[in-house]
Amino acid sequence: MRIALLVSGMLQKKTESLTITTQEFAKKLTKKNHKVFIITQKKFPSPSIEIKDKITYYRINKWGKFSLYNKLISFPFAIRKMQKEGKFNIIHGFSASPILVLRGILAKNFFSNKTKIVHTLKSYPIKKDVKAGGKNKLISRIGDWGYKLLNLADIITVPTNVHAKKLIRKGVNKNKIKVIHSFINLDKFFPKDKKKLKEQYGYQDNKVIFNYGSMWEIKGTDQLIKSMPDLIKQFPNVRLLLAPRNRKQALNKYLKVIQEMELTKYVQFILEDVNIEDYVNLADVIVLPYPHLEGTEGNPSCLLEALACKTPVVTTNLPELNELFSECTKVVEPNNIEELTKMVSFVLKNDNQRIIEEGLKIAQKFNIDQNVDSFISVYNE
C-alpha cells in the first residue's frame, strides 16, 4: 500500500516524542513492504523532499503567519504533489484537535477520492489556546466545535476507552471508533543497572527525580518544581533533572522561578542530546503530575518508558491513566502540591518492587509490532 502519514511539525531532537514515534511507525510499515510518506510542517533547516530509510519526507514551507493555511489547508496540496507517482491507498492523520481530520478529508475529496481516511486522536485539544490570543486560537476554537467532522473519516482511533466514550458523547459514530494503544520502543527502553548508570553520570550520591518531554503548565512542571523545597528538607541530596523538549521555552519559563526559589543547586536542566533511556533508568522516580490530559497522550510515552525500565512513577488521578495504570503507579490528585510531595517522598523512602514488576508486565503490551499490526488491520478493513 501507499500510505501518507500526516503530522504537525517534527523536530530533530532525540527527546522529541512525535518525531521518534512517527519515524519508528513508518519504518515498521516499510519493513512490511508498504511505501510510506511522512508529510509534515518544516520546523528546521532541511530539504523539502528527502528520502531516508526508504521513507519519503515532504516538509511543507510556512506561508507567512496564515495559521489556517499552514496547519490545515497546505496538507491537501502536499498530498496532490506527492501523488504524481500514484494515488495513496491510505491517508492517516495524527492530531489532538479533531478539526485537523480535514487535512485528509479535503485531500480525498479534491485529489484522491478512492483513498481511505484514518485519523488518530492522540490526545485532547488544548482548551487554553481558545482563551488565549495566540496563533493557535483559531484552530483550537474550530477544533472544539469540530468533533462531528470526524464522521467524515473512515476510521477514528484513540488510545483509551475513556477517550472513545467522550467522542461518542460528542456525536461521533461509535462504529467508526477503534481503540488502539500507543507504543514505545522496547528495544530501547528496558531495565538497566541503576547503580552503574548513576556512577557513570555522577549521581551516585543522589536521589534522582526525573521529568522529560514538553514542559509547561499543562504538564504540571510548575507543580513539580514547587514540591522541591519540602523534598530537599527530607532528602538534602535530592536532584530534580529536567530534560525538556521545548528547551528555549522551558528555560524562559522556569529558570528564573528556580533561581528565585534558590533551587539552582537542586534542579538541573539537561539541554544537550542524551541517551534519554539512561536517565529514565538511573532515576529513582519519574514524576508526571499532569493536571489533565489536554495535549498529552492518553497512554503517555514517558509513563510507559518508565514502566519498561522498572522505574517507579508518580502521576495523577485521571480516568484515562487509571484505565491502564492504576495498579502500577503511585497516584495523587491533580494540582495538589502537598499530596505530590508526600507521594514522591514515600516512593524515595520505600521499596517499590510490586508496582515496578507490575508496570514492566503492562509496558510489554505496548510494543510497536502489535501497534503496527493493529493499524494494518484497520487499513485492510
Which set of grid coordinates corresponds to residue 76? 491537501
Pairing mode, strands 2-6 and 90-95: parallel
Residue with cell string 471508533: 177
Pairing mode, strands 49-52 and 55-60: antiparallel
The pLDDT value given to residue 126 = 78
| Domains, the chain, with CATH or none | 2-180 (3.40.50.2000), 194-366 (3.40.50.2000)
Distance of alpha carbon 156 from alpha carbon 120, whole angstroms = 6
Distance of alpha carbon 144 from alpha carbon 128, whole angstroms = 11
The pLDDT value given to residue 43 = 76
> In this structure, what are the phi and psi dihedrals at residue 70, rounded to the nearest 5 degrees?
-65, -40
Length of the chain: 381
CA 273 to chain centre: 18
Specify the DSSP class assigned to residue 32: T
Cβ–Cβ under 8 Å, residues 272 and 239: no
Read off the pTM: 0.89
The pLDDT value given to residue 106 = 96
The pLDDT value given to residue 143 = 54
E-state strands within the chain:
2-6, 35-41, 49-52, 55-60, 90-95, 116-121, 155-158, 177-179, 207-213, 238-244, 267-269, 285-288, 313-316, 330-332
The pLDDT value given to residue 56 = 96
Task: Single out the residue of 235, 225, 232, 289 nearest to residue 255, CA to CA.
Answer: 225
At 2, the amino acid letter reads R
Which whole-number Å values give the CA distances from 191 to 21, 107, 238, 279, 283, in the listed order?
Answer: 20, 44, 22, 11, 12
> In this structure, what are the phi and psi dihedrals at residue 257, rounded to the nearest 5 degrees?
-60, -45
Cβ–Cβ under 8 Å, residues 266 and 231: no
Distance of alpha carbon 104 from alpha carbon 115, whole angstroms = 9
Q: How many CB atoms lie within 10 A of CB 100?
A: 26
pLDDT in tens, the chain (381 residues): 999 999 987 665 555 667 788 999 999 999 999 999 999 988 777 889 999 999 999 999 888 778 788 888 999 999 999 998 899 999 999 998 899 999 999 999 999 999 999 999 999 887 764 444 455 555 555 555 689 899 999 999 999 999 999 999 999 999 999 999 999 999 999 999 999 999 999 999 999 999 998 888 889 999 999 999 999 999 999 999 999 988 888 899 999 999 999 999 999 999 988 899 999 999 999 999 999 998 888 899 999 999 999 999 999 999 999 999 999 999 999 999 999 999 999 999 999 999 999 999 999 999 999 999 999 999 999
Which H helix or E strand runs over 301? helix 301-308
Sequence-ordered list of residues with C-beta below 8 angstroms from that of 364, at least 6 positions apart, any chain:
186, 308
- Residue 215 has, within 13 A of its CA and on its CB side, a CA count of 29
The pLDDT value given to residue 130 = 44
Cβ–Cβ under 8 Å, residues 74 and 63: yes
